[in-house]
Chain A
Amino acid sequence: MNIQTESVAAANTVVAVNNLTKKFNLPMNGGEFVVLDSISLNVNEGQFAAIVGPSGCGKSTLLNIIAGIETHESHEGGSVEVFHKSAEAGSTPRIGYVFQNARLLNWLTVEGNIQFALESQQFPRERWREQVTKYLEMVGLEGQEKNFPLNLSGGMQQRVAIARALAIEPDILLMDEPFSHLDEITARKMRFDLMEILMRAKPTILFVTHDLGEAVFLSDEIYMMSAKPARIFKEISVDVPRPRKPEDPVIFDLEKELVREFFSVLDAQD
């Protein structure tokens, strides 16, 4: 185990996943189902890393293990570590999570929802107002503090969820197909706006998607994952400066290349 710690300490790593394996027991025959098979990846500070793979390849499970809402026993194999900047004694890393659905508390106002996260993270109360205003403005929802989530469109609700995640100034921001439930036009606008946010707030993000175009457009680093076995089969860097344009030929070519890669892996499986 000490080998892993050393390799990690070298870079400004925020998330280190080493040879992670996750199994579910099958209730029917007492067998096991391998959800994640020896997954390794590193997310460095300020980096936008994406995991791309087909539905059911275990991407969300990986995020949930990192977030601590899915269990992982050491005997299953491998480890997950999240490091944090303010290494105060006893403090734990701050994790922001944007889910497929906004998962807002509909009985609280927009402001109340963001304050919920701030209170959970024990942000000093006198900073709440400043954080709420700053991040609502960043996601383009200034003036919506007192509104209730159910008055907002799906896209706006997801913006609130993004503001909530950013407001705690997370060490790592996990995003699980956050635009997959939105219509394509709204999703496209959201991706542009997310890129703006990347340039302003410089969060560290681990993003999960099945949309290759989305991954190429947004990411610095892409991990390509197959379903059976649930492994990472390729890692690609996207060295295109931001702001990016989706019609940029470099981006477009890369997307085509990724599609080819995926089909070659899928075909090999058939």
Chain B
Amino acid sequence: MPGPLVLLDRMIMVYGDPAAYLVVWVTIVRILEGVVICMLIGTALGLLMGLERNIEAFFDSWIMVLLTFPAICWAFLSVLWFGLSDIGPILTIVLIVFPFVTMNIWEGTKAVEKDLVDMATVYKASRSLIIRKVLIPQLMPFIFSALRIALSLSWKIALVGEAFGVGTGVGQQLIYWFEDTRVDMMLAWGVSFMILMVAIDLLVFRVWEKRTFAWRHKIAS
């Protein structure tokens, strides 16, 4: 195992080459695409399950099936179905992560205050208005926690997907240096990417979350 100083030295080496940034960029785009699709499908399905008994009854067990299906099988299946195209790793992310998002949002719908929905009903708010202004704001804490989970799972899956399949991105670098038995270089890539993901969580998501919940703390002017 390389020590921290060696690791730092290798990271400087990795990012001394401009080509490294393209490698990282390719992976980040895949992750973000995966996360966005997961959030859209997961939120919509979670909301539907919370609103409609029939849909809830139907998907209740299917979500559990998806959650327990071995992640590695999805990775292999995606490679089989889509070979070396970009769709493989993204599909792997979506299939593994969206059930987690769905679960979270569905749980969130159970915490919605019925009193406020009743109020909106008396004023004859349309369904879309109720979803936008009454339900979604109450679900925001759940949406943010789902987003966090989605990002943290997605980047790990993306690397595995890249290692097995497409042959580009950070995952491909990991498997390349692994096969070359260069643990130092492999870790330099892995650890630097982890740092980047934590930075996105702290600098983007946390700040965004704080702004979203400003109404909780806003001080009268």
Q: Which B residues lie at the A interface, using CB under 8 A? A: 115-116, 118-126, 129, 133-134, 137, 215-216, 218-221
Given A105-B133, A151-B218, A67 and B125 touching (CB < 8 A)? no
Tell me whether B126 and A120 are in contact (CB under 8 A): yes
Q: How far is the CA of A128 from the CA of B187 in the complex (A)?
A: 60
In whole Å, how far is A125's beta carbon from the nearest beta carbon of chain B? 14
| B221 neighbours in A (Cβ, 8 Å) | 146-147
**Cβ-defined contact, B119 with A99, below 8 A:** yes
A168 sits at the interface (CB 8 A) = yes
A32 proximal to B (CB < 8 A): no
A contacts, CB < 8 Å to B:
64, 67-69, 92, 95-97, 99, 101, 103, 105-108, 116-117, 119-121, 146-148, 150-151, 168
* Nearest 3 pairs of A and B residues by beta carbon: A120-B125, A120-B123, A107-B137
Main secondary structure of the interface of A (DSSP, over half): loop
A108 and B134 alpha carbons, distance in the complex (Å): 10
Q: Is the interface of B mostly helix, strand, loop or mixed?
A: helix
Tell whether, in the assembled complex, residue B129 and residue A119 are in contact, meaning their CB atoms are under 8 Å apart. yes
B215 touches A95 (CB 8 A): no
**Cβ contacts under 8 Å, A67 to chain B:** 122
Least CB distance from B77 to A in Å reads: 41
Residue in B closest to A161 when the chains form the complex, CB atoms: B119
Q: Are B124 and A120 within 8 A (Cβ)?
A: yes
Contact status B122-A95, CB under 8 Å? yes
* Cα–Cα, bound, A48→B137 (Å): 36
Which chain B residue lies CB-closest to A146? B221
Q: How far is the CB of B210 from chain A (nearest CB, A)?
A: 14
